Amino acid sequence: MNIIIAGGDGFCGWPTALYLSKQGHDVSIIDNMARRKWDDELHSNSITPIADLSERVEKWKELTGREIRTYEGDLNHYDFLKQVLLTEKPEAFVHFAEQRSAPYSMIDREHAVYTQVNNVVGNLNVLFGIKEIVPDCHLIKLGTMGEYGTPNIPIEEGYLEVEHKGRKDVLPYPKQPGSFYHLSKVHDSHNIMFTCKIWGIRATDLNQGVVYGHETDETKMDPVLSNRLDYDGVFGTALNRFIIQSTIGHDLTVYGKGGQTRGFLNLEDTVRCIEIAAENPADSGEFRVFNQFTEEFSVLDLADKVQKVAQEEGFDTNIAHLENPRVELEDHYFHAENTKLKDLGLEPHLLTDDVIRSILKAVMHHKDRVIEENVLPGVSWK
């Protein structure tokens, strides 16, 4: 299958490109290198050194004999996108190419506007490109569980059966996003659903949970193929932050009470979910929604897990509670359905002590690259 990975130089996109290539698919990457530029802007870095994209794909070809073509450019530039679609004629378009950080979107007006324009306009261009050039192409769009918020009822997979004044209907599940970033994803979902209805586009919206881990079998083949591992207060996840803090003698900093609960999944499951979606495409005109996560944890759950493993590895760590820089419920109900991908064959890799230990050891190996002042939050919602 000919597959384009937009955002293929990023944290999820790079290992996905390698995995699909290894499975025998014909893979190409679109990327504008924005993620690397944001590191420069924020004076931050990946703990793991990451090679240039050209070096990465050259090493992949050397090791496997398989070519991954690359196109450097921006989805917001429609002429560029059209040319790539005309050249590649993809059967599937995997869309990772969005600004993915809630804190980044909340820095100020400029970053909020950038996030919404970059994400919403880029996605609209993809929809128009598919309509005009490759109408049978299956759009596999990375959404987020953050679109739903934290409602006091179970979260269904995209849709909810509603009874109102004696009548019933199946409607899109209500959205309660918690940042300008999450709002951009809601706008994407609405635009995709609309174009499926009017143009017959086939689309799968993957509402992904928080991804942990940084390696797959493919990225471990050579240091040049290494994936990024983020830890800063803007792009790093809570789990990564706790692991870094445990190795540098810092308290594990839980925001508020720590009861904030979310869905999580292993990076290895992310790449497998993309494969499942590609090999089981949506029908023409279908807007299909999968909740892409495997487990649910609170922030405090994660801190407890990291503390246990860190202590086993000889690090004496404490848990501290910070004033929450976000506006969110810190004690709430959270239960989300996640059966559709499992029904199609997903076999989850769970968050075990050994998984945490593997990330911790990677951090220990590159600890000299940690910029300590970047670990704590510097962006406030309030």
Q: Which residue numbers are catalytic?
A: 144, 181, 185
Q: What CA–CA distances, in Å, run from 254 to 113, 242, 262, 263, 379?
A: 29, 9, 14, 17, 15
Q: What CA–CA distances, in Å, run from 54 to 29, 60, 88, 89, 287?
A: 11, 10, 19, 22, 35
Distance CA 382, CA 376 (A): 17
Q: DSSP string of 271-321?
A: HHHHHHHHHSPPPTT-EEEEEE-SEEEEHHHHHHHHHHHHHHTT----EEE
H or E segment and range at residue 2: strand 2-6
Distance CA 299, CA 21 (A): 35
Question: Do residues 366 and 48 make contact, with C-beta atoms less than 8 angstroms apart?
Answer: yes
- Which residue shows structure tokens 């050194």? 49
Helix residue spans in the chain (DSSP H): 13-22, 34-42, 53-64, 78-88, 102-105, 109-116, 122-133, 180-199, 238-247, 267-279, 299-312, 340-343, 353-365
Residues 6+ apart with CB under 8 A from 194: none
Distance CA 172, CA 169 (A): 10
Question: Do residues 370 and 302 make contact, with C-beta atoms less than 8 angstroms apart?
Answer: no
